[in-house]
Structure 1
């Protein structure tokens, strides 16, 4: 009997996007944050227990001192300003300490909203012959860029949270329920993702 759960196959990567302390901290002490932390922790622990470990990548927004990479008074600069300076080496850009991280994990700083901007993420996926990515994110992930590069994309719907938190339900309705299915991306639950992880090579 065929499994009812997806299978990521042998050439997949896990993308934990925007798990830096500043952005995770932006939703602290909300019911949504508590659920998110629980889901992230459960998923991340399962990934770290997987043998063999899939390519596992974390991204975090990070700039040089003074943010020379960011033009002032632009939509992007104004968007990130309330959350901090995101300077390399500061606690706010480190992967949040509640999540397991070890020497096998790859941590890529990024310079824009997209996880593929200003780092070696695309090169790493290509060099490892990855054809499938599993996206775990608290913010809008780079669906478009990865879609254009012909990856099969799985999005764990339970692990997506947009800011500000009070707009999250509407965000998920538009992105998760409408946009992603139109792009033929696979939207799965956390339970489906855990089963798929267990069954995948």
Structure 2
């Protein structure tokens, strides 16, 4: 896992409230975060924030326009805060994005290159949103990828299952949080 980082994506109050399925998601995610820190793997939080005036929201972007109308990603509101159970600690990086992928409208690529990171471990909500978009873009950037299957959630469990069982294995290693944590344990 040398030169890898754990990306914790879109784990924000509004998103967790919408998607949490009662399966113990935040404690499971916390296990992945703790395992990364113990192994010396950088933890990078990626949050979605849109300006209150919707300056960066194009009416041509159907998804972002719809999300902007809900207000769940409005910058400066409690809705975009990271839940305290999995909050960043000193030394963690927080990157703000303006679109679906962790790379779109953010300085994530710069952060990764500055640290010579060439592999990503992905966790986040939603599997069909930020995780899928980031897998596609990271693949095109020639990054090694691991997706934590139970470190991701989606509003549609069937879509989640399809992605982690059928699509992501073509581009990434797909592991459970427990298996990944065991593999990186010092």
Secondary structure of 1:101 counterpart: coil
Of residues 61, 77, 83, the one that matches 2:64 is 77
Residues paired across the two proteins, number: 181
For normalisation by structure 1, the TM-score amounts to 0.82
Aligned-residue offset at 1:117: 1.0
Give the corresponding residue for 1:4. none
The CA deviation string for residues 154-190 of structure 1, in whole angstroms up to 9 with x for no partner, is 0111111112xxx21x11232111111223x100111
1:59 aligns with 2:51: no
Q: Root-mean-square deviation (CA), in Å?
A: 1.9
Give the corresponding residue for 1:153. 145
Q: Which has more radius of gyration?
A: 1
Aligned-residue offset at 1:73: 6.9
Unaligned regions of 5+ residues in structure 1, if any? 1-7
Of residues 72, 79, 86, the one that matches 1:99 is 86
State whether residues 7 and 43 of structure 2, in contact with CA within 8 Å, keep that contact through their aligned partners in structure 1.
Answer: yes
User: For residues 5-154 of structure 1, what are the structure 2 equivalents within 5 Å?
Assistant: 8=1, 10-28=2-20, 32-48=21-37, 50=38, 53-72=40-59, 74-81=61-68, 83-140=70-127, 141=131, 142-154=134-146
The CA deviation string for residues 123-161 of structure 1, in whole angstroms up to 9 with x for no partner, is 111111112111111213110100111111001111111
152-161 or 174-183: bigger deviation: 174-183
The CA deviation string for residues 37-94 of structure 1, in whole angstroms up to 9 with x for no partner, is 221122223334x15x322110111022221111247411354257525222211112
State whether residues 134 and 154 of structure 1, in contact with CA within 8 Å, keep that contact through their aligned partners in structure 2.
Answer: yes
Give the corresponding residue for 1:176. 164
For normalisation by structure 2, the TM-score amounts to 0.88
Q: 1:73 to 1:145 in 2, by over 3 A?
A: closer
